[in-house]
Structure 1
Amino acid sequence: MNHSLQDIAWHRSIGQLIDALDKPNFWTQLVRLLDQYLSFDSWVVVLYDGEQRPQVFGECPSADGSPDPLFQDYLMGLFLLDPFYIASREQARTGLYRLSEVAPEHFELTEYYQRYFRLNVVADEIQFNCQLEGERTLCLSLGSQQRFSSEQIALLSLIQPWVLSLLRQRLPYESEVPARPEPPAQHTDWRVRLEASLQQIKGAQLTARELDVGRWMLSGCSSKEIARKLEISAETVKVHKKHIYSKLGIKSQSELFSIFLQAQGNPEL
């Protein structure tokens, strides 16, 4: 059986990564290996656990080595609007996600996109998702200043079994992860946080359905998409939107986004 030198180098690198599973530099080694096969500009490894703040296991260093303030805002609450996070909650599957597959119809028109995504991730993103017990998802995300090509996606699809297996095998060595998933009853649901903030800011009384509509609006869903998700008519969605704006005394999604930031404890971006 003939093997190319590239094949041999790949298998050798995988062997080295297996040996490094319990080492502090594992994530850096994994990312450096991927960087030999495709170009990307940023990366991060996070654990989603219900609607709690994500745990960060590894991330690309900033130019000066200081924490990225935009990413800190993401961890504080913007992750709730992340199409990859939303997809992991809705579909709960292991595999490779592309931005074009999970982003809502109006994603590029959202305040989240304009004030976070295009500044921090820039143009495109792909994510390896490893689904775990207890509504947890371990994710490796790669961001790029250019759109990933079909050839690059095909390559990632080819190697995803190795990557996903390595993610799963690495998890027990992350000291911050409990041995067993803890019940999510001790954290505050995003609706509760948002409603509490709205009470303080505007004295508004939004219904649970209006809160749902508001969140899907902020994530970039069109009225038709929201209607499908909530199993209501598009006209009903429009009525809810009108009530949201009226109760909050606002006229734009930008103002709604500002209220959302305050609800998550974020300063204005």
Structure 2
Amino acid sequence: MSLTLQDIAWHQAVGRLIESLDRPGFWIALVRLLEQYVPFDSWVVLLFSSGRPQVFAECPGAGGGPDPLFQDYLRGLFQLDPFYIASRERHVGGLFRLADVAPECFEQTDYYQRYFRLNVVADEVQLNVPLECERTLCLSLGSKQPFTPDQLALLGLIQPWVAGLMRQRLAFEQELMASPPPAAPAWQEKLEAVGLQVESTLTTRELEVGKLMLSGCSSKEIARKLAISAETVKVHRKHIYSKLGIKSQSELFSLFLKAQEA
């Protein structure tokens, strides 16, 4: 089978990327190569673990500086990110689309309306490379338009090449790889720090249910994830609202945000 000019160009570009593996501009070079084949509007390279995400590289914000919404993400909103949750539940590699990992009610959440819709806008795909110690190296691509089936098929075709390059790059990211990730924010411990007088401490299970609610999981999805009944989920939700003195999921999200900032 003969090679096309596009095939030759791809192999030449990958060869140049291999030569630049040890250079500071590697991640930008990789992203620019992908842009030649699939259009996207934002990107970030992250390391997911049990702590806060660690950033290898990211696209600049609208003014050329750090994106304030992305800083909110790193402070704590990542805990509601469907991709982060999926990477912790299933430590596997591959190409994942938002539709593959988003909970049933994701678009109805405050997280989607107040962060995702503004920062990512329409669609997101993520290429995951599983590492030891339950860490995952991720390349996320965000788009203002849904990715088409042809674009997703192309990303799936080149995914082994990109994943291999990402893994090889880690040999030159020793400083970040060796540093422990910052601890994830402890929601329970910070509730009083924001001036909230709770009736009593939320249990571990109530905290789990609360985060799954905020991430967009329906009662049935929460029940399946936690191996409890849907009725038990409703009881936990009632207890959460009562203990925190709130009446809606939007109020719960606001408390969650305040706790991350404390």
Q: TM-score, normalised by structure 2?
A: 0.95
Which residue in 1 is equivalent to 2:22?
22
Stretches of structure 2 that go unaligned for 5 or more consecutive residues are none
Is residue 153 of structure 2 the alignment partner of residue 154 of structure 1? yes
Which residue in 1 is equivalent to 2:142?
143
Q: Give % identity.
A: 67
Alpha-carbon offset, residue 63 of structure 1: 3.1
Offset from partner CA, 1:4-47 (integer Å, 9 cap, x none): 00000000000000000011110111011100101100000011
Query: How many Å separate the matches in 2 of 1:168 and 1:11?
Result: 18
Is residue 247 of structure 2 the alignment partner of residue 251 of structure 1? yes
Alpha-carbon offset, residue 141 of structure 1: 0.3
Offset from partner CA, 1:49-79 (integer Å, 9 cap, x none): 21x1111111112232111100000000100
Is residue 160 of structure 2 the alignment partner of residue 167 of structure 1? no
Which residue in 2 is equivalent to 1:228?
224
Is residue 189 of structure 2 the alignment partner of residue 196 of structure 1? yes
Alpha-carbon offset, residue 194 of structure 1: 1.1
Query: How many Å separate the matches in 2 of 1:202 and 1:95?
Result: 44
Aligned AA (1:66)? G
Alpha-carbon spacing, 1:207–1:121, altered in 2? closer, same or farther (3 Å): same
Offset from partner CA, 1:231-264 (integer Å, 9 cap, x none): 0000110111111111111011111011111222
Which residue in 1 is equivalent to 2:215?
219
Query: How many Å separate the matches in 2 of 1:2 and 1:188?
Result: 52
Which residue in 1 is equivalent to 2:8?
8
Alpha-carbon spacing, 1:189–1:148, altered in 2? closer, same or farther (3 Å): closer
Offset from partner CA, 1:138-193 (integer Å, 9 cap, x none): 100000000001111110110000000011000121243245x86x8xx6565xx1
Alpha-carbon spacing, 1:91–1:8, altered in 2? closer, same or farther (3 Å): same
Query: How many Å separate the matches in 2 of 1:189 and 1:174?
Result: 22
Which residue in 2 is equivalent to 1:125?
124
Which residue in 2 is equivalent to 1:47?
47
Query: How many Å separate the matches in 2 of 1:42 and 1:260?
Result: 26
Query: How many Å separate the matches in 2 of 1:131 and 1:113?
Result: 26
Aligned AA (1:240)? H
SS at match of 1:177: helix
Contact preservation (8 Å) 2:126, 2:141: yes
SS at match of 1:156: helix
Query: How many Å separate the matches in 2 of 1:216 and 1:85?
Result: 12
Aligned AA (2:126)? Q
Which residue in 2 is equivalent to 1:263?
259
SS at match of 2:40: coil
SS at match of 2:85: helix
Which residue in 2 is equivalent to 1:58?
57
Q: Which moved more, 1:10-19 or 1:195-204?
A: 195-204
Stretches of structure 1 that go unaligned for 5 or more consecutive residues are none
Alpha-carbon spacing, 1:103–1:167, altered in 2? closer, same or farther (3 Å): same
Offset from partner CA, 1:120-148 (integer Å, 9 cap, x none): 00000000000000111110000000000
Query: How many Å separate the matches in 2 of 1:31 and 1:214?
Result: 36
TM-align CA RMSD? 1.5
Query: How many Å separate the matches in 2 of 1:91 and 1:259?
Result: 28
SS at match of 2:137: strand
Q: TM-score, normalised by structure 1?
A: 0.92
Instruction: Work out the number of aligned pairs and report it.
Output: 259
Contact preservation (8 Å) 2:126, 2:138: yes
